[in-house]
Structure 1
Amino acid sequence: MKKVLPIAIILVVLIITGAVLIGVKQTRTVDWEESFNEKSNKPYGVSIFYKELPKLFKDYKVRTVFHQPGSYLSANSEDGYGEHVAEGSFIIIGNSDYLDNDSIDELLNFADAGNALFISDYYFSQKIHDTLDIDVDYILNEKKDSISYESLKHVDIKSTVIDKNAGDYYFSRFDTINYNVLGHSKIDYKHVNFIHVPFGKGDIYLHLEPKAFTNYNILKEDRYKYTEGLISYLPENNVYFDSYTKIQTDYYGDVEKESNLSWFLEQLSFRWAWYTAIIFGILFMIFNAKRRQRIIKIIKPLQNTTVAFVKSVSNLYFDTQDHKNLIDKKITYFLEKIRTDYNIDTAILNDEFIVRLAAKTGKKKDDVKKLINYINWLRSKNEFFEENLIKLNRHIEAFYTT
């Protein structure tokens, strides 16, 4: 043991010295990826704009949408199971190519019902192009400074500079009679990059320079005025900010969230602190691996710990925010009890099942239908929140108590 300790100390000193030397030599690089993520403080994240939204719409509710807009708007409709009826303005900044056709249909229906849809991106889904009969083209910026100039109509601000711009997207074809031109971009000549489309009872705003909303441009000089001007066209109402399109999805469309540890590992100091802690932990286990006298345990009589076990498992799932597991288990337990108590097949939860269950239990058909429809809705979701679990529990408790 005495021989090993000096070696361990030398090893730790070498590791810490190496970490310091690497930290001194390594230069920090700026990540210019255009993520348009509302949680990102990088140059082309939109965290500043996102934090300012409640101030811009201070008398209204600002909600962040973490689901595909199709499922979210469908759930929060008059006939849906959401907590409210969605009304106001739906804002999408960048990455709109992740939208599927169902989501585009729901967004168009949302606008048609008297609401506003605002999309700022370099190009749009083909379905939007076909529906609104528009074309988008690209002009290369051949200037050395890579600067384009953005301007707005009906808003009293000077033209705004967008630098680090390899080129501009612009509307090469649109209905010039019924659509309103709201803004232009200029490299060699002026071209339309912001239009307003009257759509049913509502409005659609399409903008082709999402970098205007990024942290880099909002913080530089007075460019934030251009961003405020863009948002000023939206009505004074509730706001829905799209976050789903900023999350990478896998082949099957399931959300893949970054590990909470990933940000720390990106920071040099935190990374080496983490590695040093792991190394010390390994050394501690090595030095304490020698044989020791076993502790003689007091053998207690067996106790019935079923209830405690159930509480422990449920608390474990709840503390880890594993709402999906809890919801799946509550639904499974509820259906098993239905099969056991009432001898009803629960393979298919359709209208026939609702009628049979209501008849056998003596419950009101409408109450049973609300519970079964909510279960079917939960089964179609990929991501769950605490509110979903609480609402399911209330439905099940109401079923047994009424």
Structure 2
Amino acid sequence: MAMKSSGKLGVILLVLTFLTIALVDLTRDRQIDWTRTYDQRDKIPYGLFFTRTELSKILGNEAKVRDFTAMNYPDLKGFLRGKERGSLVYIVDGMYDGKEAVAELVAYVERGGEVFISANSLSIALLDTLGLDQEYYYPRDFNDAIDIKDRPFTLTDGTKAFYKDLDYPGLFYEIDSVGISKIGYFQAEGREVPNFVEVRRKKGRFLLHLEPLMFTNYYMLKEPNYNYAATALKLLKRPDVFWYDARAKSNDAVQTPLRVLLQNEGLKQAWYILLFGLLLFLLFRSKREQMAIPVIEPEKNMSKEFAKTIATLYYESGNPGNLVQKKIEYFLYDIRINFLLDTLTLDEPGFAKHLSTKSGVPLADCEYIIALVIKYRKVTATTDDELIEINKQIEEFKNKANIL
């Protein structure tokens, strides 16, 4: 009788668990995912589902749009064979192809192909080959408020749009070389700063754009921004269009009979909960009746409370400069430990380059964070806003450099 009662109790607990999970899932506040995935499957604000779906409509019925995946140089070389009538479209966070892949793309363009790239960062090999230089726009005074309403992004045909998340957009400079022309720019400090260029090479051309965020779902659903992105994409003139899909191979790896469950986040969670519940049920069924063992609670970990108390004391003291100093010193400690760099040479010109090489973070980001550290390292009086900005920049750098 005791075993039967135990079995019934296990079933009741399992049912109650499922009901509780279902209730919590239905009533929870679902947060918007603002991750910048630049993936055609994602319907989140910064995915590319809408753009990929609308691309055929934007380019017209004559264009044939297909996906392609070339994760390395041999794949790219094999794919490009005989496709000189086509256009390759890359809308990615960063394009970091090496010299061999870049040489293959250049050869493809010179044979008559067309390559459209919109990325936050272009590979050094591609920039050097095409004779371009890329940078990011920062106001002359770091503390200046940036009013994006005064900085429209414009194409040479007059199409204009505004983007609220582009505080520090990418730009090209020194583009006076033969075969390079400006086809898009933004207004800053009374100047037209180029961020979209055409580079002609023999029979074909590169279209290089420095802000993929403009093509994401969030902006494409707004008419002025849609017009801007659609006009930029309509510059593609080849009949065959190949959209670069970076995640195709990783998604194809899920080929188990349970792939429908595993590819859906909600179903996957339900499947794991079911397995856990069954194991729990079997544990209840197989367990022998025995005397209850008293539970001895371990001592509570008060680390969080301690950190919160210390933070409160710093906040109430009204001296964020002290926090800035400690934040910078801990950051320099991380650089010394993780990358074995001597931070006493922080002011030397080559330090940022060494840091970029060892961390894998773009040189522009390294130069910016080092300049920020040098500026505030010995400043004793700062504002809360400066503290927040310094903390944000340091955390972003650590994430890019995979410093845990």
After TM superposition, the score normalised by the length of structure 2 is 0.59
The residue aligned with 1:128 is 126
Residue 71 of structure 1 aligns to which amino acid in structure 2? P
The residue aligned with 1:167 is 168
Task: State how many pairs are aligned.
Answer: 273
Question: Which of 279-288 and 11-20 deviates more?
Answer: 279-288
The residue aligned with 1:207 is 209
Question: Which consecutive residues of structure 2, in runs of 5 or more, have no partner in the other structure?
Answer: 288-404
Residue 264 of structure 1 aligns to which amino acid in structure 2? N
The residue aligned with 1:322 is none
Residue 62 of structure 1 aligns to which amino acid in structure 2? V
Residue 53 of structure 1 aligns to which amino acid in structure 2? L
Structure 1 residue 275: Cα displacement? 4.0
- 8 Å CA contact 1:217–1:224 kept in 2: the answer is yes
Call closer, same or farther: CA 1:17–1:218 in 2, change over 3 Å. Answer: same
Structure 1 residue 131: Cα displacement? 1.2
Call closer, same or farther: CA 1:133–1:144 in 2, change over 3 Å. Answer: closer
Structure 1 residue 45: Cα displacement? 1.2
Residue 63 of structure 2 aligns to which amino acid in structure 1? Y
Structure 1 residue 185: Cα displacement? 1.5
Call closer, same or farther: CA 1:207–1:133 in 2, change over 3 Å. Answer: same
Structure 1 residue 87: Cα displacement? 2.6
% same residue? 26
Residues of 2 paired with 1:39 and 1:24: CA distance? Answer: 24
Alignment of 1:2-401 (within 5 A): 2-20=4-22, 22-23=24-25, 26-55=28-57, 56-68=59-71, 70-76=73-79, 85-140=83-138, 142-143=144-145, 148-154=151-157, 156-157=158-159, 159-175=160-176, 178-189=179-190, 190-244=192-246, 246=247, 260=259, 263-265=263-265, 267=266, 270=267, 273-282=270-279
Call closer, same or farther: CA 1:133–1:52 in 2, change over 3 Å. Answer: same
- 8 Å CA contact 2:6–2:285 kept in 1: the answer is no
Structure 1 residue 229: Cα displacement? 0.7
Structure 1 residue 61: Cα displacement? 2.4
RMSD: 3.1
Call closer, same or farther: CA 1:149–1:126 in 2, change over 3 Å. Answer: same
- Give 3-state SS (helix, strand or coil) of 2:235's partner: coil
User: How far does the alpha carbon of each residue in 1:147-191 deviate from its partner, in whole angstroms, 9 at most, with x for none?
Assistant: 65211112x53x101112231111122225542111111244431
Structure 1 residue 282: Cα displacement? 3.5
Residues of 1 paired with 2:79 and 2:10: CA distance? Answer: 61
User: How far does the alpha carbon of each residue in 1:37-81 deviate from its partner, in whole angstroms, 9 at most, with x for none?
Assistant: 112112111111111222224223222111237434422455xxx
- 8 Å CA contact 1:179–1:196 kept in 2: the answer is yes
Residues of 1 paired with 2:118 and 2:152: CA distance? Answer: 16
Call closer, same or farther: CA 1:76–1:137 in 2, change over 3 Å. Answer: closer
- Give 3-state SS (helix, strand or coil) of 2:32's partner: coil
Structure 1 residue 100: Cα displacement? 2.7
- Give 3-state SS (helix, strand or coil) of 1:3's partner: helix
- Give 3-state SS (helix, strand or coil) of 1:64's partner: strand
Question: Which consecutive residues of structure 1, in runs of 5 or more, have no partner in the other structure?
Answer: 79-83, 248-253, 291-402
Call closer, same or farther: CA 1:95–1:168 in 2, change over 3 Å. Answer: closer
- 8 Å CA contact 2:163–2:214 kept in 1: the answer is yes
Residue 160 of structure 1 aligns to which amino acid in structure 2? A
- 8 Å CA contact 1:19–1:272 kept in 2: the answer is no
Residues of 2 paired with 1:288 and 1:60: CA distance? Answer: 63
Residues of 2 paired with 1:182 and 1:200: CA distance? Answer: 19
Structure 1 residue 21: Cα displacement? 5.7
- 8 Å CA contact 2:184–2:197 kept in 1: the answer is yes
Residues of 1 paired with 2:49 and 2:88: CA distance? Answer: 17
- 8 Å CA contact 2:84–2:112 kept in 1: the answer is no
Residue 108 of structure 2 aligns to which amino acid in structure 1? F
- Give 3-state SS (helix, strand or coil) of 2:51's partner: helix
- Give 3-state SS (helix, strand or coil) of 1:206's partner: strand
- 8 Å CA contact 2:179–2:200 kept in 1: the answer is yes
Residues of 2 paired with 1:77 and 1:172: CA distance? Answer: 30
Residues of 1 paired with 2:165 and 2:79: CA distance? Answer: 40
Residues of 2 paired with 1:196 and 1:6: CA distance? Answer: 72
- Give 3-state SS (helix, strand or coil) of 2:264's partner: helix
Structure 1 residue 114: Cα displacement? 1.2
- Give 3-state SS (helix, strand or coil) of 1:278's partner: helix
After TM superposition, the score normalised by the length of structure 1 is 0.60
Call closer, same or farther: CA 1:145–1:30 in 2, change over 3 Å. Answer: farther
Call closer, same or farther: CA 1:36–1:284 in 2, change over 3 Å. Answer: same
Residues of 2 paired with 1:287 and 1:136: CA distance? Answer: 64
